[in-house]
Amino acid sequence: MLNIIKRLKEKNRDSFGDTTWGYNPERDKKSIALSWFFKLPKKSKILEAGCGVGNYVFSLFKMGHNPIGVEIDKKRVEMAKKYLKEYHLNPNKIIQGDLTNLPFKNEQFDAVFCHGVIEHIKDSELAVKEMARVLKKGGHAMISVPNRYTWFTLSKLLLMGIDKIFKTRLWVCGYEKSFAQWKFKKLIKKYFEIEDFKKREYQPGITFPLYGKILRILDKPFWILGFGGMWLHAWCKK
């Protein structure tokens, strides 16, 4: 049993793409999170709030925008700078900072991109408030979070339970909460006007494809009833 868990741990080590880097234009074209940014004027100044190792910073740059990434983790900041430098981009486009206390003056950005980040922050509302503060009046923000009502939530709790019993680290994302649709919209509406709202159905990953397909099937009834889907995406205007 312990050997099985050990193999799962190694296989799951970067299953969330947390430390890997790569540009895939076909993937970007299909991305709900990025879809709205294709419509923005070129050279828009965009903040990626919680940029990790800089994947989306590079994607936004390839769209013709002027992105800046903020990441709290020093290791990921260093990796992002290294990757950008390898592609002959300014590594200073990546800044170490806290989303609950962004190192920018008011109304500095034309748009904000924040995909799958605020659920890892205990005071999520403060992070949203800070994004609104640095966004120009009339600017747009894309904020996405995991949906509470999905089998992925149960899967996450299962991994956390195994970790607690066997002292493993199958769940690699640390603190994370999920949002009911109504609660997420209520939070966003405190600071923005929601212009568009989309959900993404559960997608099997590349690390555990069979497991992902099973979760997708189990999640299907929730999706049909209208409250399922793994990701919630809000396109907002200040």
Residue-wise pLDDT tens digits, 5-39: 444 444 444 444 456 667 788 888 899 999 999 99
Confidence of residue 70 (pLDDT cuts 50, 70, 90): very high
Mean pLDDT of the chain, nearest integer:
87
Q: Residue 89: pLDDT above 60?
A: yes
AA letter at 160: M
Per the document, the length of the chain is: 238
Angle among Cα 196, 201, 207 to the nearest 5 degrees reads 130
- Annotate 126-161 with b (16+ C-beta within 10 A) or e (fewer): ebbebbbebbeeebbbbbbbbbbbbbbbebbeebee
Of all residues in the chain, the percent with pLDDT exceeding 70 is 87
Assigned superfamily of 2-237 = Vaccinia Virus protein VP39 (3.40.50.150)
The SS3 of residue 87 is coil
pLDDT in the model for residue 5: 44
The domain locations on the chain are: 2-237
The whole-angstrom separation of Cα 44 and Cα 134 is 14
- HSE, CB side, 13 Å, CA atoms: give it for residue 78: 3
Residue-wise pLDDT tens digits, 144-169: 999 998 888 887 888 788 878 888 77
In which residue are the tokens 């002959």 written? Answer: 88
In which residue are the tokens 């050997």 written? Answer: 3
CA distances to 145, 204, 219 from 226, rounded to whole Å, are 17, 20, 11
Find the range with the poorest average confidence among 71-75, 99-103, 165-169, 234-238. Answer: 165-169
pLDDT in the model for residue 2: 46
pLDDT in the model for residue 1: 45
pLDDT in the model for residue 20: 67
CA distances to 51, 55, 61, 165 from 38, rounded to whole Å, are 19, 16, 11, 46
pLDDT in the model for residue 35: 97
pTM: 0.88
Q: Which residue did the predictor score with more confidence, 139 or 208?
A: 139
Q: Residue 174: pLDDT above 70?
A: yes
Which sign, positive or negative, has the C-alpha torsion 203, 205, 206, 209?
Answer: negative
Q: Are 84 and 58 in contact (CB under 8 A)?
A: yes
AA letter at 109: F
Q: What is the largest CA-CA distance in the chain?
A: 56
